[in-house]
Each structure stands twice: as C-alpha cells, then as structure tokens.
A and B are shown apart, each in its own frame.
Chain A
Amino acid sequence: MRALIRFGKRDRLRFISHLDLQRFFQRAVNRTGLPVAWSQGFNPHPVMSFGSALALGWTSEYEVIDIKLSAPMGRKRTEDAVRAALPEDLPVLEVRMIDDKHPAPMALVRMSDYRITLEGDDAQRVYDQVSAFLERERVMGIKKTKSGEREIDIRPLAVDLRKTDAGLYARLMLTEQNTLKPDLLVKALADMAGVGVPEMRIHRLMLLGADAEGNGRPLMEL
C-alpha cells in the first residue's frame, strides 16, 4: 500500500532546494510513526518518490510525494500522522491511499499549471503580449540544458495561457522531452515586448497527467 500525498510549499520554505526537501522527508517520515517500507540493500532508506522538482523560490499548492507503507493504514490516520510531522509552511492538502501497482507520480506527470505574478514597471507591457503570443505559430526561446544552450520552439509547449487578475495563468508541458518552465515563458514575452525580464513570483497550482485523449487531468485523480 502507498500513500499519495499532496502538500503545499509556501512562504519562507520556498527556499528549500529539491534535494534538501528529499532529505527532510526522510526524517519527517520517521517522525510520522507510520509503518514505512524500507528499501533493501547496503544503504536502506524509506521508499518514497516525488512528483516533480520545484525550482528554488517558487511556491506551490500541488507537490506530490508517494510513500510506500509496509502495512495497511487508514487514509485519515495517515493524513493526521503526516500533518503532525510537517511544519506549517509545508501543509498537507490531500491524501489518497493507492495500491502498489499504481504508477509512480513522476511517470504520470504531463503538465503543470502556474500562476505567474510579475513585478515592476514593465509588468503590464509583458502581460500585454499574451494574445500576440497565442496568435504566433512559433516562438523561439533559449533553453538551458546540462550540455549548453539550445533554441527551441516554446509555442506548442504552452497548452494554455491567460491574463488573470492575479497575473498570468499558464498550463505548460512538463515531460522529460518537452518542458517549458514559466520563467522561460516570461522571458519570451518580455523579449516580444522589448523589455527586460521583470521580477516574478511563480506559484504551482496543479500537476497534471493526461487522459486517453491527451487532455490534462489532476494528478491526484488519476
């Protein structure tokens, strides 16, 4: 049995790196008192996996961790135990018990929804590029990879993009081959507006998988 847990990352804890968060959860699961399953081998550790890494400084209400249990546990008890083991700024938002055959969350992720809030004098000029962006057939952007920089067409990677009261709402592809990060999207919009990249706050609203037709479905519901 596994516990699929959705949690938030907010306020000051947005500065924990993904690696530090993983280490943190190793100790946090020890605090839960849950019958956590341990890996075999030379260096045993609790069996768990994460949804998708969140960049340093971004907040989220849709982080997912999958913890393997060695004995059956009720959903409510699991939720309470995990909540007690986490600090306030990593709030537990949803818990679902799944069986061992359920695919790992990481393998299901296809896209992510973000709220992007721009700051500074150029913010409005960047927001104003949304419709132009959507009308374009191609928008070239520079993607930084481990092996260097590469120019890619980011237009098809933006599944949805809208101006909202809070800033931008964006649904962006998030797979191993095709990923568009929100800061790269903003850079492209800023380039189109002919201004520098404004400071921004990025908040993950949801991680999504896809149904048979390729339409986005919330990860927790798959």
Chain B
Amino acid sequence: MTLSDRIEKLFMSVQKPVRYMGGEFNAVMKDPGDVAVRYAFLFPDTYEVGMSHLGMKILYHAINARDDAWCERVFSPWVDMADLMRQNGIPLFTLESRTPVRDFDLLGVTLQYEMSFTNILEALDLAGIPLRREDRTDGPFVICGGPCAFNPEPLAPFVDLIALGDGEVETGQTIDMYRKWKASGLPREDYLRMCAQIPGIYVPSLYDVSYNEDGTVRAVTPKPGSGAPEVVMKAMVPKLDEAVYPDKLIVPYGEIVHNRIMLEIFRGCTRGCRFCQAGMIYRPVRERNMAHLMEMAEKLVDATGYDEISLMSLSSGDYSCLPELARAMVEKFAARRVRIALPSQRIDNVLTDTLRQTQKVKKTALTLAPEAGTQRLRDVINKGVTEADLMRSVTDAFDQGWSAVKLYFMLGLPTETDEDVLGIADLAAKVRRCYFSIPKERRAPGLRITVSASVFVPKNFTPFQWAPQLDYDTVVRRQQLLRQALNQIKGVDFKYHAPDVSYIEAVFARGDRRLADALERAWRLGCRFDGWSDQFRYDLWLQAFRECGIDPDFYANRPRSEDEVFPWDHLDCGVTKTYLLSEWHKAQRAECTRDCRKGCTGCGMKRYEGACV
C-alpha cells in the first residue's frame, strides 16, 4: 500500500479530513524529477489558520515561480490526526505530493506566534526528524522566518537558519545557496556557514552566548572563524511593486478563517504604537501603487472566484489614497458582486466616505482598537487617538446604519492604574450614548457593543521591551474590576481570558537560549496547540519550567535595566535600541511621538539602503 493510501485510510476516523486532503484548485503540482530543490513549508497550526495567512501564500508563490524548486505545504495535524499518524507509523507529509517531510531538502517554518513553538517540535517529531540540530545528519535544513524570528533564541538548538525580515528575496537566496552547497559536496555544517553571508540570515549555531551572575546575558558573539556577522541586519524589499506577489491563490474546499482574496496594499506602519512589535519590525512603510493593486485584484478574482477582497496592511486607513482605492475597487467589482473589506480600521481616520462605499456591499461589525481607557494611557502607548476621534467614528457609523461595535483593549500596559481600567467602561458607556443620540428612525436596531480586553505581553524590539508584564494576581483583579463596571452598562458584552497563556507568551517573547530545554520538556509532557484554549495546559508548562530549573518570572515579570544586554541584541530589526530607549523614556512621561509620515523621527531605518526615500 502506498503512503497516500495509508494516509487516506485515516481520513474516515478524523475530524475534517479536508485539512489533509490537498488537491485544491490552484495548488501547484510539479514533477519531482524536474526540480533541483524540494521545499516543504510548514505553518505550525491548523490548515484553517495557516491557509488564511498571507505570508505563506506569498512565499509559496515566490518559490514555485522558480523552475528549479517545488514548494509544498504542511500544516500541524490536529491532535486526533497526529495521534493516529503515530499509531500507524505515518510520517508528517506534504499536502501536494504526500511526500514525507524528512525527504525534503529545505523545511521552512513560519513563526507567527510564540504559542506555536511546541507545534514545531511536534512536527519535527512526526516527520521523524531529530529535534536538535546537532543530532541531525541528513534530512532537510530547518529555516524559520516570520515575526517571532526576531527573537528566535528559545528555538536556537532546534533550527538551522533564521530568516529575518521580508522573505521574498532571502528565501530564494537560501535555495540558491542550497544548490551551490549540494554541488560543492561539502559537509552539512558548511551550508550554514555559507548562508551566514546572506543578508537577513542568522545562524544561531555560529554564535556563543555568555551570561552574567544575575542570569542576564553578558554577550552574544560570533564563533571565532565562523565568518558570521556580529550583527545580523534584517532583509528588506525596498519596492513592493517590484516584489513577487501571487497571481493565483489556492482555493480551499473547507471553510478557513479568512476565506477571501488578501491584497497587501502596503507593508510597515508609521504610527509608532509603543506596544506593537509589528509596527517596529516591518518598517519602513512601503505602499503598492494603486494601478498595480487594481490589476492584481482583477487577476486574483479571475483566478479564484472569490467574492471578497480584503485590503491588508497593519493600518489600512493610512494608505495614502485609500478613498480613491476603495471607491475604484467597489466600482470595478460591484457588477461581479465582489465585496471589499477593510480590516483593522483605526478610529482616527475611518473615512466616512470610504465607509459609505464599503457599506454598499456589506455591513459587518465596526471594529475599533482604542487599546487603553484613558487619554493618559493612550499617550503612554503612543496610540495617537483621542476620545473625540472615537466618538466621531462611532457616531458616523451608527448614523449610517451600523449597530454592532467591537472595542479592543489591553490590560496591564506599563503605568496602568485602576483608573485607566475603569476608563474602559467609561468609554463603552459613551459609545452607547452615541448610539442613542441618533434619532430612532435613522439608526439600525439592536445595538451590540463588545469589549475585548487581552492581557498585554511586552515584546522585544518595542519600547516596552524593558517593561515587566503585570503580575498575574493584579491582572485577575483588574479583569474583575472591569467586569463589574461593564455589568452596569446595558448591552455590553465583555470578553477576556485567564492570563495563563499571556504569561507563557511573555516568557518566550523575551526569552533566551536557556528556555529551549523547558520548551522541549513541555512538549514531551504533552503540550501542543498551546494557542488553542481547549489544548493549552498551564499546569504542564509550570511543571516543565520547574523540572528545568527555570524561573518564568525572570522572563515575564522582571523590570529590565536600561543597560541590560538582551538576548536579541545581535539582531537588527531596522529600529535601533537607542531609539526604542528614547521611546521608553517618553512613554514614562506620557509624551507622544508623531507619525513619521509627518517627519522622520529617527528610528534608524534610514540605515537601510532604499528605505524611507
């Protein structure tokens, strides 16, 4: 029986076999005999989550655009499938050709979220690949990219290469280098040494880490003679219009999280919100030209049959000709019944003009993220938004027929007090009053206000990388405080979660290499799919830390001194540590920094060729 038949034997016993089926429209099939490099791309979460991710679509297309390489997809099998695969001796396989992952040349892994780290170990194990690099004598090289690649230290012993920054170009360079290495006949380690010369590629095994007595990092330095750079600068694609972008997208059979066309209108964000890692590491802002976007959209509608296009970016309202783009899109696609959706709207420039255009096709809940309940705290985090902005946006929306509003906040931001937390309830009450200020005959019935409060996780490469995460008990107390305050307001739904997951996330977000043992231990104890509340096992995580002699509070709750060497100081995300520190100082003074579109704020990005021109 072939591997494919053995895989299909399991399909009738698992939830959603469509996750493992492959064969979707626009999936790329090649003849293995025709390609020099087989690349497996792992998204360490379910099919539904991974297939909704834009970065994977871009890289899948970029690799498959080459004649010499074939990129195939792999997702984490859900726990039912993973268990059956183990029982039946079926190795982790790719969706396209159902080839074992261990038979590939390169294994790319995207790191979107710290809580998917155990899934990477689970995937390696299911693939039959030794977890630790030093135990691997053959099989694919493991290359990790994505936002969490900017603090890859907890994964250091498990991976071969870390790809920092934009993947469009550097991914191709790792493939070119693979062919060069393969032709050279040199030992396995030489591929790593060769790749250390590629801009944006960090090779953890070529660096030594030393520690101070207090447990902090003393230095991370390249091994003598390794040729690895002292500081690894991220890869950056200066002009997105010249970068590859898919002209076809795989159309899944089952429902996935975001089942629509994703059109990246720009990359990077100039706002400078101090909690936001994406806003720092994806700099500078690079817009795609409107005519180019229109052309891309048309190709994708033709190739997929989707009836919805999402305009993607970190802050789509900031696109320099958003009203024109939105109007042109709506006009162009109305006859084909394609809706245009604008995600992550920001409250300070949701243009009512644009709103009217989008509403013509669809009306969803208005989603706003004030993040903090008082102006003081919004100034601390540099969320340049006032209460008046918020009230204007919701009033406009209510006036135009919206009746559902979702408000997103964070609890535990640096300098937060009980007063800031109660300010959230205050805002919700004011939003409610805005709704009732609209005459009854004009407003849509059925007001729904949803307040979501997540627990703040300080991330590296942000001005808050020096801040401790708010301690567990205070978080719980403030959640209850807010819950009681919101209970007094009619029609408000409050969503929040136990701080357990955020705490583990905080440990890894600013972790070092010593966490690798705890990560492996947690996985061996049974942790996987930690981002899924029905799978997350806080008790096992705490046990893993205990057994490895690691104090998680050291990583999550410790205030960092300003001269501390961080485990990621040898990586360069574009924004300098000096700039981040000055932002941290300004935060403590509740002082705002302007949007750098209105004038350079000196973040350090200009050190990169082709940036900020």
Contact = CB atoms under 8 A, between A and B. Distances in A.
Interface of A: 11-13, 15-17, 20-21, 23-24, 26-31, 33, 38, 44, 56-57, 85-87, 89
30 contacts: A12-B4, A12-B8, A12-B22, A12-B23, A13-B21, A13-B253, A15-B8, A15-B11, A15-B18, A16-B18, A16-B21, A16-B253, A17-B254, A20-B255, A21-B253, A23-B253, A27-B305, A28-B25, A28-B305, A29-B305, A30-B305, A30-B306, A30-B336, A31-B303, A31-B305, A44-B337, A56-B17, A85-B305, A86-B25, A89-B23
Contacts of B253: 13, 16, 20-21, 23-24
A89 B27 CA distance: 13
A33 to B, nearest CB: 8
Given A15-B18, A17-B254, A30-B305, 8 more contacts: A12-B22, A13-B21, A24-B251, A28-B25, A30-B306, A31-B304, A33-B302, A86-B25
B183 interface: no
Given A12-B8, A15-B17, A20-B18, A27 B304 contact: yes
Given A20-B18, A38-B337, A11 B306 contact: no
Name the prevailing secondary structure of the A interface residues. helix
B24 interface: yes
B307 interface: yes
Contacts of B11: 15, 57
Nearest to A36: B337
Nearest to B12: A57
Contacts of A33: 302
Contact of A87 (B17, B24, B337): B24
B254 A20 contact: yes
A15 B303 CA distance: 23
Interface of B: 4, 8, 11-12, 17-18, 21-25, 251, 253-255, 301-307, 336-337
Nearest to B98: A12
A87 B23 contact: yes
Contacts of B302: 31, 33
A162 B306 CA distance: 45
Nearest to B9: A199
Contacts of B8: 12, 15
A29 B337 CA distance: 13
Shortest beta-carbon contacts, A-B, top 3: A30-B305, A27-B305, A31-B305
A15 B25 CA distance: 15
Nearest to B27: A87
A35 B22 CA distance: 30
Contacts of A16: 18, 21, 253-254
B482 to A, nearest CB: 36
A21 B17 CA distance: 14
Contacts of A24: 25, 251, 253
Nearest to B29: A88
Contacts of A15: 8, 11, 17-18, 21
A21 B255 CA distance: 11
B21 A12 contact: yes
B146 to A, nearest CB: 28
B486 to A, nearest CB: 32
A29 B305 CA distance: 7
A87 B18 contact: no
A23 B23 contact: no
B255 A23 contact: yes
B2 to A, nearest CB: 12
Contact of B23 (A13, A21, A28): A13
Nearest to A20: B253
The listed residue with most A CB atoms (<10 A of its CB), out of B22, B302, B307, is B307
A30 B22 CA distance: 21
A85 B302 CA distance: 10
A56 B12 CA distance: 8
Contacts of A21: 253
A17 B14 CA distance: 13
Contacts of B304: 27, 31
Contacts of A27: 251, 304-307
A97 B275 CA distance: 60
Interface-central residue, A17, A28, A30, by most chain B CB under 10 Å: A30
A47 to B, nearest CB: 13
B435 to A, nearest CB: 23
A134 B220 CA distance: 81
B19 to A, nearest CB: 10
Residue from B12, B25, B301, B307 whose CB has the most chain A CB atoms within 10 Å: B25
Contacts of B18: 15-17, 20
A15 to B, nearest CB: 4
Contacts of B4: 12
B25 A87 contact: yes
Contacts of A86: 25
A20 B253 CA distance: 6
B251 A11 contact: no
- Specify which of A11, A31, A44 lies most central, judged by the most chain B CB atoms within 10 Å of its CB: A31
Contacts of B337: 38, 44
Given A16-B253, A24-B253, A57-B11, A30 B307 contact: yes
Nearest to A88: B23
Nearest to A33: B302
B539 to A, nearest CB: 36
Contacts of B24: 87
Contacts of B23: 11-13, 87, 89
A7 B24 CA distance: 16
Contacts of A29: 305
A24 to B, nearest CB: 5
A38 B335 CA distance: 11
Contacts of A56: 12, 17
A20 B254 CA distance: 5
Nearest to A24: B253
A122 B24 CA distance: 36
A18 to B, nearest CB: 11
Nearest to A30: B305
A57 B251 CA distance: 20
A85 B254 CA distance: 17
A41 to B, nearest CB: 13
A26 B25 CA distance: 13
A89 B4 CA distance: 15
Nearest to A17: B18
Contacts of A28: 25, 305
B48 to A, nearest CB: 12
A142 to B, nearest CB: 19
A56 to B, nearest CB: 7
Contacts of B255: 20, 23
Contacts of B307: 26-27, 30
A29 to B, nearest CB: 7
A203 B21 CA distance: 19
Nearest to A25: B305
Contacts of B12: 56-57
A57 B17 CA distance: 10
A96 B252 CA distance: 28
B272 to A, nearest CB: 39
Contacts of B25: 24, 28, 85-87
B320 to A, nearest CB: 31
A57 B307 CA distance: 29
B220 to A, nearest CB: 47
